[in-house]
Amino acid sequence: MNISIIGGGYVGLVTGVCLATLNHTITIIDIDEAKIDAINNKTPSIYEDGLEQILQMHVGINLTATSAYVSIQTADIIIIAVGTPPNPDGSANLAFITAATDNIGESLATAHTVYPIIVVKSTVPPGTTKDLVCKNIRKKNPLLQFGCCMNPEFLREGRAIEDFIHPDRIIIGSTDQKTIAKITELYKPLGAPIITVDSTAAEMIKYTSNALLATKISFSNEIGNLCKALGVDVYEVMKGVGLDHRISPHFLDAGAGFGGSCFPKDVSAIAAIAKKHGVIPTLLEAVLQVNDLQPLRMIKILSAHLGDLKGTRIAVLGLAFKDNTDDIRESRSIPVIAMLLEGGAHPVLYDPMATENMKHLFPQAEYAPSAVSALTGSDGCLVMTEWSEFATLDAEFNLMKQRIIIDGRHILKIKDAEGICW
């Protein structure tokens, strides 16, 4: 198929390269010329395992990037994968969605050669596909014939290509049989279960999935805080709990909390949607509150060891919100670094991938070229990201003035590290 993807960010780019491996012809459309150049030069602007290798194989053959919308006039499928950042009240900002549909509508109104299927991959509030996307495109030409559906993505950063090729399920949100047939054909090679619902239910599935996963994390952290007070190992507790088939062991790891581009944004958005409809989102607000407070407990533990942190040198290992990515969005290290600076400490920061991104937020901080460099002469250490290279650290901590180590991710194998929840 000929497929045009509006948005060359994380979701759009990963979707594009993966569909290219399935022998479709992909055109990624974006307004950012630097991003377009990076894709066409086979050098992605984001880090994702396997991404650059696929670009090397497919760019110039069946994958290209451009700022022009002309490709959608001959596209079988047009995928919308633009950002929906949060408004100040937590609700989803749909400005990029509106702009994309305006451009699609104008382009299709002047010329189109096939029955195109418009696919919304962006995470949007329930009702957006039906009430905004489809209607906005049709406004440009009331006689235009096209299909429209919501097809949410469920990609983990750092493992997104694996997740795309081996999905748990495919959700097709449409009641149009032509659309359902075309999207089913698109995903058939992946061999995943396909669930067909209407577009509003598909939008709600995406929000609900992320909200439930975030809830499991905050629940585990709250139980972990209690376990620490009781002198109980929360990881032993959750191992016993997770073997219940109704619960599963996934996302029960207590620690510094969740971050990234999805969970914080989507939980805030669904809470805002609830309030708009007169529903008090008590549990969802508690999930966010626990997550906001959790990393700050690490500063409290550190202060219990060192007293006043003013003038202390504190190594912070891990800046990305999780391992195998350079993404710092909503990283739990951000409030920790901010509190250290506010308290007069001298944080020394290290991450294998995310250093350059964090420099934009904290240019005044010191950045180390390695974990060893960050630890040398430090009064304390906070481990914020579960990078595998941190798991083997031991003798390196002897380079500190004293071995005061707070592990926010339960990754260290040494016995003298203190956990945030254990």
Q: Are the beta carbons of 10 and 261 closer than 8 angstroms?
A: yes
Per the DSSP assignment, residues forming a β-bridge with 149 are 119
Measure CA 253 to chain center: 18
Q: How far, in Å, CA of 78 to CA of 374, rounded? A: 47
110: which 2 tokens?
């002047």
Q: Are 150 and 202 in contact (CB under 8 A)?
A: yes
Hey, is 5 helix, strand or coil? Answer: strand
Catalytic site residue from 18, 262, 381, 421: 262
Which residue is associated with the tokens 């219940």? 244
Is 149 annotated as catalytic?
no
What stretches of 299-408 adopt beta strand conformation (E)? Answer: 313-317, 346-350, 366-367, 380-383, 405-407
Residue 396 DSSP symbol: G
Give the whole-angstrom CA distance, residue 99 versus residue 389.
Answer: 43
SS3 content of the chain, % helix, strand, coil (to 5): 45, 15, 40
Catalytic residues: 262
